[in-house]
Every structure is written in C-alpha cells, then in structure tokens.
Amino acid sequence: LGLPYDHALDIWSVGCCLYEPYTEKVLFPGPSNNDMLLLHMELK
C-alpha cells in the first residue's frame, strides 16, 4: 500500500496473533485472501 508504519503496527500484529489461540476464533474470517483483506480495510 506504500504507507509508512511504526511500532504501533507491530503491537497491533502481535495482538492479532494472540487473539486466535486465546479465543479459538479466526479474527478475520473469509473464504479468500481478498475477503480477509477487505475485512482489514473496513476497520479504518
């Protein structure tokens, strides 16, 4: 996407990684990568 990122994105990524084993649910469920990306983009 060409956007800059910093440590805040790293912390968000760790949170996403910890969410699934803790809740036993997929954070961004989707039948394809494009659908999962759309779910990410809808968070803005």
| Full residue range of the structural domain in which residue 32 is found | 7-41
Mean pLDDT in residue range 5-10: 90
Residue 1 lies in a domain: no
Contacts of 20 by beta carbon, 8 Å cutoff, 6+ apart: 26, 27
Cβ within 8 Å of residue 36, ≥6 positions away: 28, 29, 30
Q: Does any domain span residue 16?
A: yes
pLDDT in tens, 9-35: 899 899 999 999 999 999 889 899 999
Provide the number of structural domains found in the chain: 1
User: How far apart, in whole angstroms, are the C-alpha atoms of residue 30 and residue 35?
Assistant: 5
- Residue 2 in domain: no
Q: How confident is the model at residue 4 (pLDDT cuts 50, 70, 90)?
A: confident
In a domain, 27, yes or no: yes
**Residue 44 pLDDT level (bands cut at 50, 70, 90):** low
Asked whether residue 26 is domain-assigned, the answer is: yes
Look at residue 15 in the predicted model and tell me its pLDDT.
95
